[in-house]
Amino acid sequence: MFKIGVMASGGGSNFKAIIDRIGEGDLEAQCKFLITNNGTCGAVSHAEEFGIPVYHISGKTHPVVADYETAMMDVLNKYDVDLLILAGYMKALPACMIHRMPDRILNIHPSLLPKYGGKGFWGIHVHEAVIAAHEKESGPTVHLVSEEIDQGRILAQVKVPVLEGDTPEVLAARVLEQEHNLYWKTIRDYAAELRS
Ligand code: GAR
């Protein structure tokens, strides 16, 4: 069985959509852990509901950088997952994690990369920038994680319209709905690619 670990910082709706699909049998995988930098976020509640072990690792829990990195690596080494899934994880990963799992870490980003990616482009700020630039379309991207933020190989994208009068929040909701359809399918397809 394919093993995944998830990292999330916020509401965790992408995390929930993935574990729901696992539960329904659409995605043949086991979720072994959640790593979060926010011990009270929605993703933690979802993990607890599904009995998934939670590791809260942040600058607060591990103020010394070396300890922080060791804690992260300890989780990876303990579970030896096939894929690490970033689902609304709002911090850059330590380079040691990226080196530990080359081409095995996926991220979802709420814009059509390479547009509106990189430093400062996360969460609602992405949608604010898209609207300010009067873009006619936006949409989520799933990509492999490399050391350059949001620049790894693109695995999948879905376009959604940006409508007249959209606020960043309205656009975010339209994009998020597509994220929930896109992420689990991309994980399924990429897992198949790795197996072939
Ligand atoms: C999603 O829109 C995701 O694409 C974005 O954060 C949101 C998390 O929602 N990720 C980034 O901006 C990463 N750069 P969720 O917590 O409900 O899954």
pTM: 0.97
Domains of the chain: 2-114+140-159+179-195 (3.40.50.170)
Q: How far apart are CA 173 and CA 20, in angstroms?
A: 19
Catalytic residues: 109
Q: Please work out whether the CB of residue 108 comes within 6 Å of at least one atom of ligand 1.
A: yes
Residue type, 85: I
Residue nearest to atom 17 of ligand 1 (CA): 13
Q: How far apart are CA 84 and CA 97, in angstroms?
A: 10
Q: How far apart are CA 145 and CA 111, in angstroms?
A: 15
**Segment 125-183, tens digit of pLDDT:** 999 999 999 999 999 999 999 999 999 999 999 999 999 999 999 999 999 999 999 99
Q: Using a pLDDT cut of 70, give the percent of the chain over it.
A: 100
pLDDT at 38: 97
Q: How far apart are CA 75 and CA 55, in angstroms?
A: 8
pLDDT at 47: 98
Contact indicator for 22, 103 with CB cutoff of 8 Å: no
Residue type, 89: Y
Q: How far apart are CA 158 and CA 161, in angstroms?
A: 10
